[in-house]
Amino acid sequence: MKFIHSGKVKDVYEFDGKNLLFHFTDRVSAYDVRMITDIKGKGEILCKFAEFWFKSLDSKNHMVRLEDKDKMVVKKLRMIPLECVVRGYLYGSLYERYKDGDYEMGLEPNMQIASKLKEPIFDPTTKSNIHDQPISENQILEKKILTDDKLRTVKDTSLRLYKQMSGLANDKGFIMADVKFEFGEDPDSDEIILADSLGPDEFRMWIKDSYKSGEKQESYDKQYLRDWLTKVGFRDNISNAAKSGKKPVPPELPATVVQELLNRYSYVYRKIAKL
């Protein structure tokens, strides 16, 4: 197989004329920086979780089959260069922007962190190997990334899939605060279908019984790593390095952090995907 490229957490190979092979590695990234410490077993969890969602959701997708415990054969698509984020709660980067006075998406003043939104919102970003940036629907149209019809398709599909995933998570005792989807166009039909992967690297998941609006939530996803990196000052290092167009060298993750992150990924997978 021909190696194509290495992403933040997946390696991609040319499988045959119509398909690619995704290798879900044990790498982990946060704040758009690849960590130097692997999370042994993470790739297998992400691969199998992606399979579960692709089989469970009411949407066409590019999965062909699992090739191994951490590899998936997928159909080649013309990928849409957007990350289609849907948010049901005021958290993460949305909360940071909200604190800076960004009410463009109809958010009300004086909302608390982790507040449930009246309705889920579509909050897309650019797709970059350096740093993803929020992009408005008007900017997507102005830059001719998508036509109006295609934008409506990915937006409506993203909102619908979030509600379906959120419902499945809720039945298992979780709150899905937000999720990121990617889409591509099928070269055979030009149909826009779901692509990439879905798992704790793509969504923010909280335990329903411990949820409290106005407080930071205990996350069973990559947020645990982000919180640790913020605690040790690495997020500040990123901000300082960005001023000169650089990325800082990430710290080595302690064994306790590695194990806890793996435990959380494994726990949410077992609770939701295991029958």
Mean pLDDT of the chain: 94
Q: Containing domain of residue 165, as a range?
A: 78-210
What pLDDT was estimated at residue 150? 98
Distance of CA 231 to the CA centre of its chain: 22
39-72 pLDDT tens trace: 999 999 999 999 999 999 999 999 999 999 999 9
Is 261 a member of any domain? no
State the Cα torsion 216-220-223-227 to the nearest 10°. 60
Taking the C-alpha atoms of residue 13 and residue 235, their distance in angstroms, rounded to an integer, is: 32
What pLDDT was estimated at residue 243? 76
Is 253 a member of any domain? no
Residue 275 pLDDT > 60: no
Taking the C-alpha atoms of residue 161 and residue 145, their distance in angstroms, rounded to an integer, is: 22
pLDDT band of 182, cuts 50, 70, 90? very high
State the pTM of this model: 0.93
Give the percent of the chain with pLDDT over 90: 84
Taking the C-alpha atoms of residue 111 and residue 162, their distance in angstroms, rounded to an integer, is: 22
Residue 127 pLDDT > 90: no
Is 205 a member of any domain? yes
Provide φ and ψ at 269, rounded to 5°: -65, -50
What pLDDT was estimated at residue 199? 94
**CB-side neighbour CA atoms (13 Å) of 275:** 3
What pLDDT was estimated at residue 247? 81
pLDDT band of 130, cuts 50, 70, 90? low
The type of residue at 96 is: E
Is 151 a member of any domain? yes
Is 84 a member of any domain? yes
CB 85 within 8 Å of CB 179:
yes
Compute the average pLDDT of residues 111-126: 95
Compute the average pLDDT of residues 199-228: 95
Residue 105 pLDDT > 80: no
Number of domains comprising the chain: 1
20-44 pLDDT tens trace: 999 999 999 998 899 999 999 999 9
Residue 238 pLDDT > 90: no
For every residue of 14-64, DSSP letters joined together read E-SSSEEEEEE-S--EETTEE-SS--TTHHHHHHHHHHHHHHHSSS-B-EE
Is 111 a member of any domain? yes
Residue 246 pLDDT > 90: no
Is 112 a member of any domain? yes
Is 169 a member of any domain? yes
CATH code of residue 188: 3.30.470.20
Nearest residue to 65 (alpha-carbon basis) of 50, 80, 84: 50
| DSSP 8-state class, residue 208 | G
132-142 pLDDT tens trace: 789 999 999 99
